[in-house]
Amino acid sequence: MDDQGKAYWSATLGLLGKILAIWFVCSFGAGILFADALNGIKLGGYPLGFFFAHQGSIYIFIALIFYYAKAMGNLDRKFDVHED
Amino acid sequence: MDLQTMTYLVVGASFALYIGIAIWARAGSTSEFYAAGGSVHPITNGMATAADWMSAASFISMAGLIANMGYGGGLFLMGWTGGYVLLAMLLAPYLRKFGKFTVPQFIGDRFYSQTASTVAVICLLTASITYIIGQMTGVGVAFSRFLGVSSDTGIYIGMGIVFAYAVFGGMKGITYTQVAQYIVLILAYTVPAMFISLQLTGNPIPQLGLGSNISGTDISLLQKLDQVVTDLGFGQYTTSVPGSTLNMFVYTMSLMIGTAGLPHVIMRFFTVAKVSDARSSAGWALVFIAILYTTAPAVGAMAKLNLHGTVNTAVGLQTAADGSMVVNADAVKANADVFATEASLVYEQRPEWMKRWEKTGLLKFEDKNGDGRIQYYNDKTKSADAKAKAEAAGWKGNELTVNADIIVLANPEIALLPNWVIALVAAGGLAAALSTAAGLLMAISAAVSHDLVKGVFMPNISEQAELRAGKISMAVAIVIAGYLGLNPPGFAAGTVALAFGIAASSLFPAIMMGIFSKKMNKEGAIAGMLAGLFVTLFYVFAHKGIFFIKGTDFVDMIGGANSFFGITPEAFGAIGALVNFVVAFVVDKMTKEPPEHIQHMVENVRIPRGAKAVDGAH
């Protein structure tokens, strides 16, 4: 792989790492591990930990995928590896 | 028009639509048959993926499951959606760039080994066939409940419909029918949910209703539900976890990895035109899935409150003159004693919908204390308070048995919705079962005709002959799936968990390492897949019997049930995946690097430029 390709791949991995960290924190973190602590906070009628497990994580997942698709599109163009 | 006629009409119209689409979308080439010609719009593919993914179980059973489990049910909600993040970022775009028809073909080419491809075919067939048994029985159940025909007749009709569009249309026919099926099933799911949310909270959006106050009060719906169920001795709705927190964690992870590794879902991403489309299409799929998956917890919680309110007037709901459930705000605020004698519903005064569902056996009443009233509570409660109060009130045990499926099936009747809505729910349940069955059949027939017939036995087969082989293997797969649906093996109930376990422990790690580890060689990948598969099957079989044969379980040998840190066999896929990764890397270090051209291939798969239409060349 040339230098350009290497740089593209490490930028990709950096992006994946960031997104997966958010993915983990909102579902496994807020929805499971810290759910009890968060339940003390209320979001309308929702205890917050319960909200993350039953609603919030799913909305964040959607946002993450579209952000990923957009950010990757930018990386593709920046490193000139995009489709025509 | 009476309900039965209306149901026949709506279901008949939906079937006519599917067949019409099938005639319009016939497949004329292998590219159309396996990948719908490779030019499906990302939003269209997202919708088809959503229908493909959401099965009869998602449609009929999930809300009831969540109603029973409470907060812990979130593991299904997060597990079955979070996998799409993994799929979008780790697998789908790279497999699309690779540009071949099937998952085993990727594994075979990347690990330069017929053996690797064959192992992948075996994993794929086991996962897909175990999954499809559940779908075919789901088709039978949906027919018998909604249309009053026998479950067997239902399976024959279902086989006929799938045959019509899957055999002639292949992936192309399946894709466009799935779009229609998605629209039918999502309307059928959300319309009754909006009504029930409106009745209880005054907010027609179920996702907001679940977080709102009960109409006319400043008490939130979840707070009221928590109070009612704990009074009656059940676990608190918003916090109860089945098993340990660790088990919930591992279970969620297994479902996520399994979702990303299921071949019938991955295959859908071969149908889009570009790598960038594969990325956004996964997002669209999740949008369409989320509409149902964020409605389901609202349906579960609201129907649960409705059910308690129906049989116990102290909850604060009451049946209006026309038979619908309405909120009595003063009674909700009053917090009357649920154990008071008059609070329990008199059996003879039960609403019409309860009478109808009693006939199906999904709802059963047994007057244990002979007072003619229905007492619905947790008689095995750990709460000493609830136990003492129930005994003092002269309650002699729970008297109402409720099948979880009622939560969705009876919803429109509880809310007194017009007949066309009830008929739509029937069509929706059938659409969910048929669309998933078709997607699975596609994965099975592609593995057989493309990876086995063309890949192993007849490499020089012509395109026309391969297309014919694809259609024949599809037809055979339908007959086998129908047979298994008609004569479900005794183990049918536990098998969907097995499908996720296999996908998580064998296929997902192999594909991921194939993309993200350039130096991973065939020895490592094959050893990893076999090790992951073996430990998962070992743990499942220890609990459920070898190949689910009764009496062959050996759970004592491994130190008792859930002996591995309290993890249940359904949740074990993630542990299998971990074993797969570890074994693969250890074996990889001890054997020689993959050849130069394979490493180049991996570099090439990682960049989007140069993506071309999917083709079948081996």
Condensed to tens digits (0 to 9), the pLDDT of residues B524-569 reads: 999 999 999 999 988 888 887 776 666 777 777 777 777 777 788 8
Please report how many Cα atoms fall inside a 13 Å half-sphere around the Cα of residue B556, on the Cβ side: 2
Q: Which residue of A has its CA nearest to B223?
A: A45
- The confidence band for B178, taking pLDDT boundaries of 50, 70 and 90, is very high
- The confidence band for B618, taking pLDDT boundaries of 50, 70 and 90, is low
The C-alpha atoms of residue B325 and residue B309 are separated, in whole angstroms, by: 9
- Please state, in angstroms and as integers, the Cα–Cα distance from residue B530 to each residue in B120, B122, B549, following that order: 10, 11, 22
Instruction: Determine whether the interchain pair B93/A72 forms a contact, defined as Cβ–Cβ distance below 8 Å.
Output: yes
Please report how many Cα atoms fall inside a 13 Å half-sphere around the Cα of residue B201, on the Cβ side: 30
Instruction: Determine whether the interchain pair B93/A33 forms a contact, defined as Cβ–Cβ distance below 8 Å.
Output: no
Q: Which residue of B has its CA nearest to A79?
A: B607
Helices (H) and strands (E) in chain B, counts: 28, 6
* Nearest by Cα to B606 from A17, A67, A20, A76: A76
Sequence-distant (6+) residues with CB within 8 A of B472 are B449
Q: What phi and psi values does residue B101 have, to the nearest 5 degrees?
A: -75, -30
- The confidence band for B490, taking pLDDT boundaries of 50, 70 and 90, is low
CB A66 within 8 A of CB B280: yes
- The confidence band for B450, taking pLDDT boundaries of 50, 70 and 90, is confident
Interface confidence, given as ipTM, is 0.96
Instruction: Determine whether the interchain pair B248/A32 forms a contact, defined as Cβ–Cβ distance below 8 Å.
Output: yes
Instruction: Determine whether the interchain pair A82/B213 forms a contact, defined as Cβ–Cβ distance below 8 Å.
Output: no
Chain B, 184 to 223: residues with Cβ < 8 Å from chain A are 207-208, 210-213, 220-223
Whether B489 shows a pLDDT value over 70: the answer reads no
The C-alpha atoms of residue B411 and residue B456 are separated, in whole angstroms, by: 51
What letter does residue B318 receive in the DSSP assignment? Answer: E
Instruction: Determine whether the interchain pair A69/B249 forms a contact, defined as Cβ–Cβ distance below 8 Å.
Output: no
Q: What local confidence, expressed as pLDDT, does residue B558 receive? A: 73
Contacts of A31 in chain B (CB under 8 A): 74, 78, 252
Q: Which residue of A has its CA nearest to B207?
A: A55
Sequence-distant (6+) residues with CB within 8 A of B314 are B331, B335, B336, B337, B338, B340, B343
* Nearest by Cα to B15 from B191, B188, B181: B181
The C-alpha atoms of residue B605 and residue B99 are separated, in whole angstroms, by: 9
The C-alpha atoms of residue B259 and residue B252 are separated, in whole angstroms, by: 11
Domain boundaries, chain A: 3-81
Q: What local confidence, expressed as pLDDT, does residue B301 receive? A: 95
- The confidence band for B158, taking pLDDT boundaries of 50, 70 and 90, is confident
CB B237 within 8 A of CB B70: yes
Q: Which residue of A has its CA nearest to B238?
A: A50
Interface check for B275 against chain A (CB to CB < 8 A): the answer is yes
R_g of chain B computed on alpha carbons? 25
The C-alpha atoms of residue B265 and residue B258 are separated, in whole angstroms, by: 11
Residue from the list A32, A55, A62 with its beta carbon closest to the beta carbon of B249 = A32
Instruction: Determine whether the interchain pair B283/A82 forms a contact, defined as Cβ–Cβ distance below 8 Å.
Output: no
Structure tokens belonging to residue B318: 């009451």
Query: Residue A4 CB: number of other CB atoms within 10 A?
Result: 12
* Nearest by Cα to A3 from A83, A84, A81: A81
- The confidence band for A48, taking pLDDT boundaries of 50, 70 and 90, is very high
Q: What local confidence, expressed as pLDDT, does residue B511 receive? A: 95
Q: If DSSP codes are grouped into helix, strand and coil, which group holds residue B28?
A: coil
CB B432 within 8 A of CB B181: yes
- Please state, in angstroms and as integers, the Cα–Cα distance from residue B514 to each residue in B98, B102, B162, B581, following that order: 11, 14, 34, 11
pLDDT in tens, B40-93: 899 999 999 999 999 888 888 889 889 989 999 999 999 999 999 999 999 999
Instruction: Determine whether the interchain pair A61/B85 forms a contact, defined as Cβ–Cβ distance below 8 Å.
Output: yes
Q: Which has more pLDDT, B247 or B566? A: B247
Q: Which residue of A has its CA nearest to B89?
A: A16
Please report how many Cα atoms fall inside a 13 Å half-sphere around the Cα of residue A5, on the Cβ side: 11
Residue from the list A68, A82, A84 with its beta carbon closest to the beta carbon of B279 = A68
What type of residue sits at position B126? T
Sign for the CA dihedral angle at B58, A16, B504, B566 comes to negative
Chain A, 36 to 75: residues with Cβ < 8 Å from chain B are 36, 39, 43-47, 49-51, 53-55, 57-59, 61-62, 64-66, 68-69, 72-73
What type of residue sits at position B573? G
* Nearest by Cα to A23 from A72, A74, A68, A75: A68
Contacts of B208 in chain A (CB under 8 A): 44
Contacts of B89 in chain A (CB under 8 A): 16, 19-20, 65, 68
Q: Quote the crossing angle between the two packed helices B596-606 and B508-516, to the nearest 10°.
A: 100
* Nearest by Cα to B130 from B452, B540, B526: B540
Sequence-distant (6+) residues with CB within 8 A of B270 are B34, B35, B38, B95, B96, B100, B101, B614
Burial class (CB in 10 A: 0-12, 13-18, 19+), B361: exposed
Q: What local confidence, expressed as pLDDT, does residue A63 receive? A: 97
Mean pLDDT estimate for chain B: 88
Alpha helix ranges (H) inside B202-274: 206-209, 221-231, 245-261, 263-266
Q: What local confidence, expressed as pLDDT, does residue B525 receive? A: 95
Average pLDDT over residues B148-176: 84
Strands B325-327 and B363-365: unpaired
pTM higher than 0.90, yes or no?
yes
The C-alpha atoms of residue B447 and residue B468 are separated, in whole angstroms, by: 14
Sequence-distant (6+) residues with CB within 8 A of A63 are none
